[in-house]
Structure 1
């Protein structure tokens, strides 16, 4: 048994106090009676008095107050099974963790801005399953499809370019990994819309992604893209490991400082081919609100009908018993009605 408002149980301490008070009043009344009245006179003055009825009134009233206090405390006994039905879309976010995502043409950096917007997306989710794939040249599933948004945030927080063995970008491998994640769903035949959101600066150093993209289309997976960066581009800063101290800028094999730009056309082509849409974040105050609005329009399916056991409220019965005893206390007479 558990209690909804256990503090009310402290009121039960007043019931023994009330018993003592009633006994004390009865004792005082008998003392006065014996002092001023003879037993015969007192009996004649209280003709028809029913001592048992008086005691029953007090017992019923105190019992009613006991059950009322217990009802206020909200007892929960046993269990009941409840069913929760969730409706939403299946969405997989593919986040580019290549070195160019450290560029700071979008403040504080392309990667940090992307993570901030993904967190905003998570805050808006209601019953949608979402997973996270991180990719460069070697992608992997950072978080499988889940309804546990807190766990998803933890996986997102630790996503960093330093965790990846490659600094290049390969959309083909990211798409193949995303397709495998969708196909691994137990209820893959759900009516819920399937969405892949690719967040990247658009630089692609891998093989042609056309075949992988067509496989996504065949599985009725909508592909949306979000470009992060500016057309002017900027350099890629390098910081001392574990600190914010700038030690230089990324250079190519010839020793030249690398300049990275947003390659929006690649992302536009991916979205257009897969019947999705392209969005961009080119300034720090831009977000993915347009994509969030589009999410609300997608077909939602029921894919998480869950049952769980919970303690069952029993305060109703306590309340009924309290009412019966209190009413009984009022109805019980203190004097018996006798015919002359």
Structure 2
């Protein structure tokens, strides 16, 4: 027999408490016995009944598992590149404390949900760079996420095609060529000054790479902080206003069989993004057989409850009238 919760300390404490309480009960009976005529065999019968169902409660609490069985567990693999826009517009504060700071906070929770998958990190603005290659190491990923800021990349506009091209290249040249599900989480405010998206989307479709895009910002937008001031628009000589532009992000997601999500004042769709990626069927890379046994605590619990109920509805008289 296997015990699912063999907490000896807890069981011992419960047994001691029961023993102390029952000792008080027996002492009270001893006092009564000195004054009244009591049939002791009835007391022993009642005491035996209570001890029995208390022991059954303890057995049920320990979770007895009976029988041996084997179960095949399939190991599935997903490779996920997270591409994060680090252009200056990600410092906009239409989402508090800023677009980038909010993304960093949300990504820490997202990464934790995929501890059995390989995750890589790509940063981009006008150019794209691999900040962290595909890895299972959660600590390394969290460290890189903590260090993200907009000065890590050149800022001459935003080219959404750049991180997608780099992710495709890294998927193709990865040393581990085991067949796996490949996905890209594209995070941006949607402003795009690049081109050549059509050819890149066609390439991703051929490679079976899905893009789950995450738009960050609001339609109203806000100014972009820079040092102690704000970024100015050279054309209007007024403050530059950055707004969420979701069209390109929606198109990329739709044409690669992915999905579009959003973080704004009205939408907080990170949980939906996590759920959707979890539903993506990973490629089976192997399987292993483990021993399994069924927890039979319910039968012991049911027997204990039955005896306790019998004790309540059919009380045994300990004092003869």
Which TM-score band applies after superposition, normalised by the shorter structure? 0.5 to 0.7
Partner of 1:248: 229
SS of the residue 2:219 aligns to: coil
Measure, in 1, the Cα distance between the counterparts of 2:234 and 2:243: 19
TM-score (norm. length: structure 2): 0.63
TM-score (norm. length: structure 1): 0.60
Partner of 1:200: 188
1:262 aligns with 2:250: no
Partner of 1:161: 150
SS of the residue 1:212 aligns to: helix
SS of the residue 2:212 aligns to: strand
Q: How far 1:88 sits from its partner (Å)?
A: 3.1
Measure, in 2, the Cα distance between the counterparts of 1:284 and 1:304: 42
Q: How far 1:89 sits from its partner (Å)?
A: 1.1
Measure, in 2, the Cα distance between the counterparts of 1:115 and 1:167: 22
Partner of 1:212: 200
Measure, in 1, the Cα distance between the counterparts of 2:195 and 2:215: 20
Post-superposition Cα deviations, 1:103-143, rounded to whole Å, max 9, x if no partner, equal 01111111111111111111111311100000001101000
Q: How far 1:87 sits from its partner (Å)?
A: 3.0
Measure, in 2, the Cα distance between the counterparts of 1:199 and 1:273: 17
Q: How far 1:303 sits from its partner (Å)?
A: 5.0
Partner of 1:114: 103
Post-superposition Cα deviations, 1:187-217, rounded to whole Å, max 9, x if no partner, equal 3341x31111100000001123111121111
Q: Specify which of 113, 128, 132 is matched with residue 124 of structure 1.
A: 113
Measure, in 1, the Cα distance between the counterparts of 2:115 and 2:153: 31
Post-superposition Cα deviations, 1:298-330, rounded to whole Å, max 9, x if no partner, equal 11235599xxxxxxxxxxxxxxxxxxxxxxxxx
Measure, in 2, the Cα distance between the counterparts of 1:284 and 1:156: 25
Give runs of ≥4 in structure 1 deviating > 6 Å. none
Measure, in 1, the Cα distance between the counterparts of 2:112 and 2:118: 13
RMSD, matched Cα: 2.2
The number of residues matched between the two structures is 215
Measure, in 2, the Cα distance between the counterparts of 1:215 and 1:298: 20
Q: Specify which of 249, 265, 278 is matched with residue 296 of structure 1.
A: 278
Matches within 5 A, 1:1-340: 87-190=76-179, 192-239=180-227, 247-254=228-235, 255-283=237-265, 286-302=268-284
Measure, in 2, the Cα distance between the counterparts of 1:213 and 1:288: 24
